[in-house]
Structure 1
Amino acid sequence: MSCSNSLVQVHKLVEQLRLEASMERIKISLTAVDLVQYCQDHRRSDPLITSVAASSNPFKDKKSCVLL
């Protein structure tokens, strides 16, 4: 019984490895170039690079804290 369980697990592993090996991969260098280009194209609208104006910041506190 243990041998048949082990054999089934090995067959599943082999099928998974065959599936992974048959997948078409994208070269990392091409993906990095695309990512850099995207960042450069959208840098004007990126709030991490160009800060958000205080008047349009939805997370800014509406009232200031006053201690008595």
Structure 2
Amino acid sequence: MEAVLEALKAAIEGGYFDDSRSASLSTVADALGCTTATAYTHLRKAERTVILAAIGSSRRC
């Protein structure tokens, strides 16, 4: 789960979730030192966790 949190932090700090999306997935991957596929997987897991928490779901990630 630590890698997922690091990916989310790198994406937020880099501007990946900004309206103008100032960072690409490649930028996030570079910040993490991993492939874009790995960064994508980490971000999807983070998004799922946040969304499930927001809607109050007890489904596990």
TM-score band by shorter chain is: 0.3 to 0.5
> Please, what TM-score do these two structures have when normalized by structure 1?
0.30
> Please, what TM-score do these two structures have when normalized by structure 2?
0.33
* Bigger relative CO (Cα 8 Å, ≥ 6 apart): 2
Q: Which has the larger radius of gyration?
A: 1
Higher helix share: 2
